[in-house]
């Protein structure tokens, strides 16, 4: 339904691979001049084909095939430059350290860096937007109100990359038998072919039946769920549109045996890696913490686990004292200089490998709260505790998608937590092995760019 989904990502992927290939041909032509022939190209095709696959994976991990990148160009150039430079570093390591590669890489890589970067920027910023903008935008009617409805209408109408536009909007409270004929006239006059509304709203159910009866005779009308469209655009759930039946359907959904087994296997492997890194880094962190002042190496926290159970976790201390669950501005407790590094690299979370091995926490799932803070949030936000109907994780869908206030790496207010909850419920509904892989890859990317931003 939304332009910028799988077809757009596939077009980008094919264009990226084509751009990498053309860059290689141009690089070799510039490097060898008239001496360039098919034998030289054949020598490079094998190793560079492998690199192209790795580079495409790095592009994916960097979010360059995601909807937000497909639809917005504000930070695209910077993301491409950073990612492509990282790709060139990978290529240099590949050529220098993988045995059996009979190619002298230094000059070729330098030329390739410039050529591929220019061509990727041209493809992504100039050529692709012209190929992907839909020539025709379907007119749609939005029957919804509230902050989330305004957000959806503004996002869709202000961005020509969507293949629909909201030509008219109506509040559900204004629907009546008297307004039915007026709305039918509007649909015909505006050539509306899509109606986006809360299809599970009992108050509008009969009205929608009548509206469909009046309009279907003259032209086919497609009805779309507001929550489905909102999810497709924002990758989160519109909280104000949730009904009790939603939680009955998704909160208690059983995971398949294959998914549960694969997820547990990945958790154990990941936890063992985290444990090894914890053991190696602990002495270094202990020495560095000594320069900050007195205090323990680890802190212990009571957190909320699966279905409200109590989980005791260990973390490397990153603040002057133990974090009791207060937000920025509510306490004089500050993050230390060493703690800032630990948080930005996520090393402070690695001692939780033991909780993962015990099965109390997963690597991926909704981030669990300190008990005191979790109880406070449950009182402020309806349905908050439903996020614990799946096993909590060290990283999750909210952590790779949500943008916090400057300097924050976690929610520091009710409003930020409300946004996190919308992402958590999206994970609750769509959880799968594929989504977990996406979260894992993007978490690695997020950690890398946090470090590279110093």
**Domains in the chain: boundaries:** 6-132, 138-234, 257-452
Question: Strand 164-170 and strand 138-143: pairing?
Answer: parallel
Sequence-separated contacts (24+) of 11-18 with Cβ below 8 Å: 11/128, 11/131, 11/132, 12/64, 12/65, 12/70, 12/124, 12/128, 13/56, 13/65, 15/123, 15/127, 15/128, 16/55, 16/56, 16/59, 16/120, 16/123, 17/52, 17/56
- Fold exhibited by the domain 138-234: Rossmann fold (3.40.50)
Q: How far apart are CA 166 and CA 146, in angstroms?
A: 16
Return the pLDDT at 434. 85
Return the pLDDT at 327. 60
Residue-wise pLDDT for 397-450, tens only, equals 998 888 766 556 677 788 889 999 999 999 999 998 888 988 988 888 777 665
pTM for the full predicted model: 0.77
Q: Please determine, for residue 271, whether its predicted confidence score (pLDDT) is greater than 50.
A: yes
Identify which of 182, 153, 151 has the alpha carbon closest to the alpha carbon of residue 165: 153
Banded pLDDT at 5 (limits 50, 70, 90): low
Cα-flanking dihedrals φ and ψ of residue 367, to 5°? Answer: -70, 125
313 touches 355 (CB < 8 A): yes
Q: 124, exposed or middle or buried, with CB in 10 Å at 0-12, 13-18, 19+? A: buried
Residue-wise pLDDT for 185-221, tens only, equals 888 888 888 889 887 777 777 777 777 776 665 667 8
Return the pLDDT at 100. 60
């Amino acid at each position: 339904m939304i332009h910028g989904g799988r077809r757009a990502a596939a077009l980008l992927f094919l264009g990226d691979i084509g751009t990498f290939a053309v860059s290689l041909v141009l690089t070799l032509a510039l490097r060898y001049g008239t001496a360039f022939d098919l034998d030289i190209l054949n020598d490079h095709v094998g190793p560079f084909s492998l690199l192209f696959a790795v580079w495409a994976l790095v592009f994916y991990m960097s979010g360059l095939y995601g909807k937000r990148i497909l639809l917005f160009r504000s930070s695209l150039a910077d993301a491409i430059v950073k990612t492509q430079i990282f790709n060139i570093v990978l290529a240099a390591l590949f050529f220098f350290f993988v045995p059996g590669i009979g190619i002298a890489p230094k000059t070729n890589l330098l030329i390739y860096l410039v050529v591929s970067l220019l061509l990727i920027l041209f493809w992504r910023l100039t050529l692709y937007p012209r190929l992907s903008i839909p020539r025709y935008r379907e007119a749609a009617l939005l029957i919804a109100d509230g902050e989330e409805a305004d957000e959806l209408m503004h996002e869709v109408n202000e961005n020509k990359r969507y293949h629909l536009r909201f030509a008219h909007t109506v509040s559900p409270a204004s629907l009546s038998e008297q307004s039915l004929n007026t709305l039918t006239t509007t649909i015909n006059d505006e050539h509306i072919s899509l109606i986006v509304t809360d299809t599970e709203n009992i108050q509008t159910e009969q009205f929608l039946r009548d509206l469909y009866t009046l309009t279907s005779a003259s032209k086919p009308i497609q009805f779309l769920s507001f929550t489905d469209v909102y999810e497709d655009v924002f990758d989160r759930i519109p909280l104000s549109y949730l009904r009790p039946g939603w939680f009955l359907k998704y909160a208690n959904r059983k995971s398949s045996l294959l998914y549960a087994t694969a997820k547990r296997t990945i958790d154990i492997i990941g936890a063992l890696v985290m444990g090894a890194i914890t053991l190696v880094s602990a002495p270094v962190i202990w020495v560095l913490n000594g320069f900050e002042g007195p205090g323990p190496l680890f802190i212990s926290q009571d957190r909320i686990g699966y279905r409200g159970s109590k989980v005791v976790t260990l973390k490397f201390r990153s603040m002057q004292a133990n974090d009791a669950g207060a937000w920025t501005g509510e306490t004089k407790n500050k993050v230390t200089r060493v703690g800032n590094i630990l948080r930005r690299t996520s090393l402070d979370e690695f001692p939780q490998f033991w909780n993962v091995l015990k099965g109390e926490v997963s690597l991926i799932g909704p981030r669990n709260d300190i008990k005191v803070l979790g109880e406070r949030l449950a009182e402020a936000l309806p349905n908050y505790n439903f996020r614990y109907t799946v096993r909590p994780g060290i990283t999750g869908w909210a952590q790779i998608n949500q943008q916090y206030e400057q300097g924050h790496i976690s929610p520091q207010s009710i409003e930020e937590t409300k946004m996190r909850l919308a992402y958590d419920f999206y994970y609750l509904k769509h959880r799968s092995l594929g989504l977990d892989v996406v979260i894992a890859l993007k978490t690695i990317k997020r950690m890398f760019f946090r470090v590279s931003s110093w």
